[in-house]
Structure 1
Amino acid sequence: MFCCEGNRHEEASGELVLPPAKVLKDEPAIQEVHIVHFNDVYNLQPQHKEEPVGGAARFMTILRELKAELAPQKVLVCMSGDFVGPSLTSSFSKGAHIIDAMNAVGVDYATFGNHEFDYGYQSLINRLQGYDDDAQAGEGHEEVDYPKSTATWLMTNMSEGKTGDPVGGAETKRYDIVEVNGVKVGLMGLSEDWLAGCSQLRDGEIVYKDHIETGREYARKMKLEGAQVVIALTHNRFENDKVLTAAVPEIDLLLGGHDHFYKRADKKHRVVKSGEEWRWLTHTTLHVMGQTVKKLSVERYDVDSDVDCDPVLQELVDKYARIRDNKFKQVICQIKSPFDATEECCRYQEGVMTNWICDAVAEDYSVKDGLQSADFTMIMGLHFAGKKVFPVGDFTLGSLMAVFPKPCQIVVLKLKGSDVLKSLERGCSSLPKECGPLHHTSEALTYKIKMGKGKQANQVTDVKVKGKAIEPGKFYEVAVTEAMSQGKFGYPWMAEAERIVDSESGMQIQDLVLMYLKRHPKQAAQAQLGRIKIVS
């Protein structure tokens, strides 16, 4: 079940309980503040086979029962960022499905994560206000409701470059003080500086201030304005959250996101992380006497598969599943030449489809328009999984998802030319046999494969970047898949490379292709061959 007694026993063990204080007759009574927390939710359906499986509908059942148990006391529901993406549903909803769920759950306060900028800053504004990104172009997704967010959004240390308003616009608050069960609770939103990895943000679009200095300033400000308790919603790495609470003792409780693991508060750091994908619900109780938190109790609720689904949230889950199925029938472009997604093409030679997709990724990560830069793209043949030839004519969203049925995140690395050469040779090493690691490339990168005779290894020659011979000592910014960047498939040098866009900020390849098509709505999908020449 979802709430094991062991969690409650840990409360009594002393790990989560602040030192007791003697209660004098003239001291005020202890009051309780109840907080529910979650973070990093991208999908409505469960995404894990192992327990806890999670899912929004089961999460809602636990929350509803908890609220009934605590009634008439108010329960403050808080969310610590990352809702826009990445997910297959986000490819058309741009995060509207999670806003819909957050409204149904009754989120009171939320802050922003790095993935909120996956489709650019204006798209985030549209999500919060309930606008369709494509409505002005006459291509609105009518079946998606695009609800306006009902949560109060907090961002204390990041601002719009043009207006100086907090991220999210004028309706976002730097901080807020709210009365909960007779206690004045101050809340703020703080994040470490992950802006450099947000590939769809333009230079200067969002401005960062040091989260520790800003956190200290606003924590003291809220205390002076009468807050008895200060809570920080953050989207930081756990180690940085610990540094923050150590530097700002005025923070009584930190509710964090960004990390996808579960972590309970302890007496020293007062940090709670609630995992990802609706897998855990954290109920924290602050026992407050006057201006002091006397006790901090934390209960973890596991969202297991034996929890019943809330009917209201399940209806929402089913609704977006139907929309997704309908969306997959949508024509996204016309193709002029057959798109060969079979292994016989992708794992043996270059193809029109693989070249076109690499071009789309390279343009999305180009320096054009002030976005993140990539000199070229390299994607292994084994990442293309369509297993069929798509004929000339309509190419649908479902066709694209058939080519990439699983998440396939793109990151950008800083690689030496010598490492690019090693990667290309590693990629073609098993030719003329099946060669899953064969590197397909964007237009800027071309190379020849000289097939070895007998036991001789294949050699890569005549490697050129934008028509000029590659320089072994020069650094290039290269878009690759996350799996490659982790050093898998025999690329340890990629695991050691500097990240320009890391796995926390990289986008799914499906989204990059769709964004490319949005910029070129009337352009047929095509690409020239000749990037990989195989010489016997």
Structure 2
Amino acid sequence: MNRKIKVSTPLLIFSIAFSGCGKQAVKTTPEVEKKTTITFIHMNDIHSHLSGSKTKLYFNGKKTYVTIGELNRAIAKIKELQKTSSNPVTLNAGDMIVGTLYYVLFRGNATADLLNLVNWDAATIGNHEFDDGDKGLKHFLDRINFPIVSANIIPKKGSILEYYWTPYRIIERNGEKIGIIGIGYAQKTKMSSNPGNDIEFLDEIETAKKYVKELSDLGVNKIVILSHFGMENDLKLAKEVPGVDVIIDGDSHSLLGNYTAYGIKSQFNKYPQIVKGADGQKVCVTSAWQYGYAVGKLKVDFDSKGNVIECNGVTTILLGDEFKRKVNGKKVKLKGSEKAEIEEIIANSNGKLEIVKPDPEAEKILNSYSEKVETLKRQVIGFAAEFLGHNRIPGDKKDGVSVLSKHGSEIAPIVAKAFYEKIKNADVAIQNAGGVRTAIDDGPITIGEVYKLLPFSNTLYVLKMKGSEIKQVLEDAISNFMDKGGSTGSFPYAYGIRYDVDLSKPCGKRISNLEIMDRKTKIWHPIDPNRYYIVVTNSYIAHGKDGYKTFGKVLKERGGIDTYFGYAETFIDYIKKLSAKGKELKKLPRDEMPVQNFTK
């Protein structure tokens, strides 16, 4: 039996009035329905992006360079919304840590210290919270001062994480009870992160049903799912779990609302998404993008039975107050009327964009960590047993020293191997030459050196592809510079596959003898053109950039998974694991080199 009863017509109050002639007149007036307004302030997928990012937006069609995000600004915005909103409830949908140098260097401490400045009502666990195992998560949870909810990720008795979170919380606003249930992405957390064997994972939808009923039995009729399950999954959950009112989403990094005028693509052009739930009532589903770029504000009106009457709101993208445009090829800071024009556009964006001054206390904390970054970049994380050269194309001396004419880059395939080791079910890892920038000298390897080697904000993408499509990806990469005037940075390196390259052949015929290594047996076999394989690559070429058009086609048609593992951070982890085993970084064995033979 559903906990809510939908009332389709208003109740009427009947009153009897007597006229002077003794006749009765019946008057009816509608009963005023009790309405409760709750404002949900929310963030998700911060991934330790504490500093702002440089990006470009469009104002009146003109490309403009701005700073977007910065957790200091998000904290300032949240505090302002908490003061000005009706019955605010502040929620964080997970993946708070992992993803930038701030995590690599400070293991979540910097992120925790900043998040502790916000009075969160609840946060849930993202899959990346387990990237450094149970101990890494415990370290972060010991540092924070706000409650965690997760109903389907359960530490077993005796786990070091036992009692660190609860399935749900019940809070009150204006005398009304609100239940907040945490839901994590079970399969993704098990497959792409590192939870211990002492962590049990339950089905997301069945668990949600269980705890919605439990809350309903306790008399709670306003129920929120605080989810790290992904937008598409949460839209399904909204349709299948009766009694849910609001879902605050994480994992898919979804931006909701129409931002096309500013050059930003959204997953959905409406904020929030409103779904007809399993009990016939409205369910409001929303998310607030990623990396501290934005803060969401969802205003929900409930009737006396806890049904959603209506919901609306906005994701506010946070901006700095400096704007630049290119003049004669150089970025020039805008002043006067040009800057004023942009500020007016932002002020009239209906809350979609806002210039936000950083929170002073948060700024002080971040500065204290930022000052340590340069010192910590010199931290040694491992050793290279020998010089590892880098050519884009075999023999091009891209690093100024190495010829490497037969097999090409020595370091790029090792970067690909780090991807392969990170994604436990990957059959193949592919990395473009241009995404690797330098050679590695023999001797100690520092964090700073890795960020020079891999300087971009790429993440690891996982795609499911036929063997024939993998071959075509390699052909695309070579055709990009051979036939289309593209950069030689598109030359493909890899791990788990090997091939011969002959640049004298016509387009589509340059890759031959393509073999793939069985992950378990390490035995090489000819690639099966009709079999599907799991491919991990970087986010740049996964979207078809640098000439990798087949990657882009597969991603568009069949989708892929952005793991949100940084490619530089993945390589750092790989080196650290080698070092922990007493091993040094060295060239791949001859039979594991991707380019077995090269003909110019």
In the superposition, the TM-score normalised over structure 1's length comes to 0.78
1:103 counterpart residue number: 116
Aligned to 1:486: 543
Partner of residue 271, structure 1 = 285
Distance 1:419 1:457 in 2: 12
After superposition, the C-alpha distances for 1:364-388 in whole angstroms (9 at most, x for unaligned) are 33xxxxxx223343212121123xx
Change (3 A) 1:324 1:30: same
- Larger RCO (alpha carbons 8 Å, 6+ apart): 1
Distance (whole Å) between structure 2 residues aligned to residue 496 and residue 197 of structure 1: 25
> Is the Cα–Cα contact under 8 Å of residues 84 and 118 in structure 1 kept in the other structure?
no
**Aligned pair partner of 2:255 in 243, 258, 261:** 261
Deviation at 1:174? 0.8
CA–CA distance in 2 between the matches of 1:502 and 1:204?
27
> 2:153 corresponds to which residue?
158
Q: In the TM superposition, what whole-angstrom CA distance separates every residue of 1:33-91 from its partner, at most 9, and x where no partner exists? A: 44322222121222353489332222222333333446xx8643111112123223223
- Which of 305, 314, 321 is the matching residue for 2:370? 321
Cross-structure match for 1:15: none
Distance, in Å, in 2 between the alignment partners of 1:207 and 1:82 is 19
Give the match for residue 40 of structure 1.
45
| In 1: Cα distance, 2:222 partner to 2:291 partner | 28
Find the partner of 1:63 among 78, 83, 86: 78
Deviations 1:194-221 (A, max 9, x none): 5277423369665443333322221121
- Native 8 Å contact 1:228 1:290 kept in 2: no
Consecutive unaligned residues in structure 1, runs of 5 or more? 1-17, 130-147, 366-371
One of 412, 416, 419 as aligned partner of 2:469 = 419
8 Å Cα contact 2:544-2:553 kept in structure 1: yes
**How far 1:26 sits from its partner (Å)?**
10
1:89–1:383 CA distance, 2 compared to 1 (3 A): same
Structure 1 residues 20 and 418, CA gap change in structure 2 (3 angstroms) = same
For residue 448 of structure 1, the aligned residue among 475, 500, 508 is 500
Where in structure 2 are the equivalents of 1:165-204 lying within 5 Å?
A: 169-191=162-184, 193-195=186-188, 198-201=191-194
Match of 1:155, SS state, is coil
Cα pair distance change 1:420/1:67, threshold 3 Å: closer
1:3 match: none
Query: How far apart are residue 313 of structure 1 and its match?
Result: 1.0
Contact 2:43 2:294 survives alignment (8 Å): yes
Question: Residues 117 and 355 (structure 1 numbering): CA distance in 2 closer, same or farther, change over 3 Å?
Answer: same
Query: Where in structure 2 are the equivalents of 1:289-438 lying within 5 Å?
Result: 290-293=304-307, 295-296=309-310, 298-300=312-314, 301-305=316-320, 306-341=355-390, 343=392, 344-345=396-397, 350-365=408-423, 372-386=424-438, 389-429=439-479, 430=481, 435-438=488-491
State the secondary structure of the residue aligned to 1:340.
Answer: coil
2:381, 2:576 within 8 Å by CA — same for their partners in 1? no
Measured in 2, the distance between the counterparts of 1:358 and 1:403 equals: 13
Give the direction of change, closer, same or farther, for the CA distance of 1:183–1:499 in structure 2 (3 Å limit).
same
In structure 2, the CA distance between the partners of 1:352 and 1:224, relative to structure 1 (3 Å rule), is same
Alpha-carbon shift at residue 423 of structure 1 (Å): 3.3
Match of 2:147, as an amino acid?
T
How far the C-alpha of 1:327 sits from its partner, in A, is: 2.0
Structure 1 residue 402: deviation in Å?
A: 0.9
Aligned residue in 1 for 2:99? 86
AA partner of residue 534 (structure 1) = F
Distance in structure 2 (CA, Å) of the matches to 1:310 and 1:414: 43
In structure 2, relative to structure 1, the CA distance for the partners of 1:276 and 1:421 (3 Å cut) is closer
Q: Check conservation: 1:231, 1:251, Cα contact below 8 A.
A: yes
User: Which residue number in structure 2 is paired with residue 517 of structure 1?
Assistant: 575
Code of the residue aligned with 2:69 in structure 1: it is G
| Alignment-mate amino acid for residue 62 of structure 1 | K
Contact 1:486 1:492 in 2 (8 A): no
SS for the counterpart of 2:562 is coil
Report percent identity of matched pairs.
19
Please tell me whether the aligned partners of residues 515 and 525 of structure 2 are also in contact (alpha carbons under 8 angstroms).
Answer: yes
Given residue 242 of structure 1, which amino acid in structure 2 is its aligned partner? L
Change (3 A) 1:56 1:526: same
Secondary structure at the aligned position of 1:352 is classed as coil
Matched letter for residue 374 of structure 1: A
Instruction: For residues 164-199 of structure 1, give each alpha carbon's deviation from its aligned partner in whole angstroms, at most 9, with x where no partner exists.
Output: 98x964221111222333222211012455527742
Q: Out of 230, 242, 245, which is 2:235 matched to?
A: 242
The answer on whether the counterparts of 1:355 and 1:441 sit within 8 Å (CA) in structure 2 is yes
Moved more, 281-290 or 319-328: 281-290
Cα distance in 1 for partners of 2:12, 2:391 equals: 74
- For the pair 1:472 / 2:538, whether they are aligned, the reply is no
Distance 2:11 2:290 in 1: 39
1:169/1:26 CA distance change after superposition, 3 Å:
farther
CA RMSD of aligned residues (A): 3.8
> How many residues in Structure 1 have an aligned counterpart in Structure 2?
487
Deviation at 1:153, TM superposition (A): 0.8
Alpha carbons of 1:270 and 1:417: their partners in 2 closer, same or farther (altered >3 Å)? closer
Q: What is the rounded CA distance, in whole Å, between the counterparts of 2:206 and 2:45 in structure 1?
A: 25
Distance in 2 between residues matched to 1:52 and 1:528, nearest whole Å: 40
TM-score (norm 2): 0.70
Q: 3-state DSSP class of the match of 1:496?
A: helix
Deviation at 1:329, TM superposition (A): 1.5
1:504 aligned counterpart, secondary structure: strand
Deviation of 1:311 after TM superposition, in Å, equals 0.5
What is the alpha-carbon distance in structure 1 between the residues aligned to residue 108 and residue 558 of structure 2? Answer: 25
SS in 1 for 2:116: helix
Q: Is the 2:99–2:564 Cα contact (8 Å) retained in structure 1?
A: no
Change in Cα spacing, 1:230 to 1:475, as seen in structure 2 (3 Å) is: closer
3-state SS of paired residue (2:287) = strand
Q: Which residue of 1 aligns with 2:599?
A: 535
Q: Partner of 1:513: helix, strand, or coil?
A: helix
Which residue pairs with 2:334 in the alignment?
none
Change (3 A) 1:415 1:248: closer
Q: 2:510 aligns to what?
A: 459
